[in-house]
Structure formats: C-alpha cells, structure tokens
Amino acid sequence: MITITFIQPDGSMTAAQAKPGRSLMQIAVDHGVAGIVGECGGSMACATCHCHVDPAWLARTGTPTPGEAEMLDLADGELRPESRLACQIMLTLDLDGLIIRLPHGG
C-alpha cells in the first residue's frame, strides 16, 4: 500500500492509503479530499484536480506533459513550479509517503 498525505491551505491533513496503478486524483476523490474535484474523471479536460507536489517528491512524480501544462494555465489557485494535475500522477510503490499540498483558492 501507498500512503499519501494531502495538506490543505489551512494546514489540516488527510492521509490516504492506495494501491499502485490508480491516479492521485482517484484516491483524493475516493477519500473526499477538499480541493480535488476531478470533474472530467481524469481525462485532463478540466484542471479541477490542480495540486502542488511537495518539492521533495518532484523528481519521482515527473514533469507535466505539454498538454498538462496547457491545462494548468486554466487551473484555480496559484501556479507554481510544483503544480500538477492529480489525474496525471499515477501511483507507484516509489510514491509511498507522497506529500501533496492543495493551493489557496483551488
């Protein structure tokens, strides 16, 4: 199992357990994480799963594709170098302990 910690702008946290092979967005929605909506169901068409990957985890989560970068331009909340769409992060055992921060205004 993989453990992910979601941190809200106010500092409150939600820990979630997940199996590899699912997207970060699916896990956030399953666990009712505020700020991750996933309106498009993960088809990268809405940017309602915008999140900030903790800098310590950036290398493991990869970089946004050009299409993801375009969608991020439409996202609510502050865009940062660590901004990602949660639907585009597929969970692997290497991501056990992943820390995700939700942007203000997201």
Supply the CATH number for residue 52's domain: 3.10.20.30
Mean of all residue pLDDT scores within the chain: 95
pLDDT of 19 reads 95
Task: Tell me how far apart the alpha carbons of residues 95 and 76 are, in angstroms, rounded to a whole number.
Answer: 25
Report the pLDDT averaged over residues 9-23: 96
106 is a domain residue: no
For 52, the domain range is 2-101
Task: Tell me how far apart the alpha carbons of residues 15 and 47 are, in angstroms, rounded to a whole number.
Answer: 22
> What are the residues facing 14 on neighbouring strands?
6
Phi, psi of 2 (to 5 degrees): -110, 135
Number of structural domains (the chain) is: 1
Task: Tell me how far apart the alpha carbons of residues 43 and 15 are, in angstroms, rounded to a whole number.
Answer: 25
The tens digit of pLDDT for each residue in 40-69 reads 999 999 999 999 999 999 999 999 999 999
